[in-house]
Structure formats: C-alpha cells, structure tokens
Amino acid sequence: MSENKIQSEDLLAHKWDRVISNFVVKTGLGLSVGIVASALLFKKRTWPIAISTGWGFGAAYADAERVFHPHHVPGVEFHKEEPSV
C-alpha cells in the first residue's frame, strides 16, 4: 500500500473546512461592501446590505456545490482507473 494516500475522513474534513471558511469570507465581504455602499451611496438604507450579503452567501453556496459535487461542473470529465495490483 502507498503511504501517501489520504483517508476519506481527512478528505471530507478538508472539504468542510474549505467550504466554511469560504462562506465566512464571502458573506463577510458582501456584508462589508453592503454597509459601505449603504452609508456612502444610498442614504443609510438597508437593502444594499441585504443584497450584497445574499450575493456573498450565494457565491459561497455555489462554490460549496462545486467542492462536494464536481461532476455537476460543465466540462469536467471523470475516468475510471484500472485497479493496480
């Protein structure tokens, strides 16, 4: 057996870590952009905050779909490998 194989639990944990950190960063960035836009451009209305936070959440969700289901991405092909003895 090869010792550099990654166990499935570690692979899943790595995916979840990436998805959660991506969610926090993109949603936080959307919230920040919404607050700045609301304060500077839209006379302190709340809809820019909601729109940009939703945009960040949606972008993070789309990335999570790509991480957990890469076969749904257009142009990606998977080939079966023959088992090696």
Structural domain of residue 17, as residue ranges?
Answer: 8-68
Average pLDDT of 3-14? Answer: 80
Q: Is the pLDDT of residue 2 over 60?
A: no
- What are the structure tokens assigned to 30, written together? 């959307």
81 within some domain: no
Q: Is the pLDDT of residue 21 over 90?
A: yes
Confidence of residue 3 (pLDDT cuts 50, 70, 90): low
50 within some domain: yes
How many CA atoms, within 13 angstroms, populate the side-chain half-sphere of residue 45? Answer: 7
Q: Is the pLDDT of residue 45 over 70?
A: yes
Q: Give the CA angle between residues 13, 15, 17 to the nearest 5°.
A: 70
Q: Is the pLDDT of residue 69 over 90?
A: no
Q: Is the pLDDT of residue 13 over 60?
A: yes
30 within some domain: yes
In 3D space, the residue among 57, 80, 79, 60 whose CA is nearest the CA of residue 68 turns out to be: 60
Domain total of the chain:
1
